[in-house]
Amino acid sequence: MAVNTKASAEKVPEPVTPTAPAQDKEEFCVYLGPPIRGVLQHGQIFTCTRRKAKNQLADVIAKHPKVASLLISNLTLVHDRVKAKTPGNALYNTYQQLRTELIKAESMKGAS
């Protein structure tokens, strides 16, 4: 009995391994802190990585270091957006502390 060597000699295509989904790459970040008049708005989108956004906001971060903690990467945005509104976690506390700090700074300007 003859074995069909032609069929066994054909290469079986290797399964294609999917590339990493786009969500595994940091593509943008969002500011989830309170608005800073003339500088930042809640929900402001930066079309760069978190590191580059921090560099762009270096002056603001120098005055208000908590701003850096409230720049959220697209990789964690879904969960962090909820955390920023939920009492009892670091993002919420940071938001509230920065908000209080900004209110005090604004009232100091108004008193002068």
Give how far Cα 96 sits from Cα of 22, 32, 56, 73, Å. 32, 11, 23, 20
87 in any annotated domain:
yes
15 in any annotated domain:
no
65 in any annotated domain:
yes
Phi and psi at 12, nearest 5°, equal: -85, 125
Give how far Cα 14 sits from Cα of 10, 26, 81, Å. 12, 30, 41
Residue numbers of the domain that contains 101: 25-111
**DSSP letter string, 23-36:** GGS---EEE-S--B
Is pTM, for the whole model, over 0.85?
no
Which pLDDT belongs to residue 25?
Answer: 87
| pLDDT averages per 10-residue partition of the chain, 112 residues | 56 56 78 94 95 96 96 94 93 96 87 66
Question: Structurally, how many domains does the chain consist of?
Answer: 1
Which residues 6+ apart lie within 8 Å of 71 measured at CB? 29, 30, 31, 32, 46, 50, 53, 54, 57
Which pLDDT belongs to residue 48?
Answer: 95
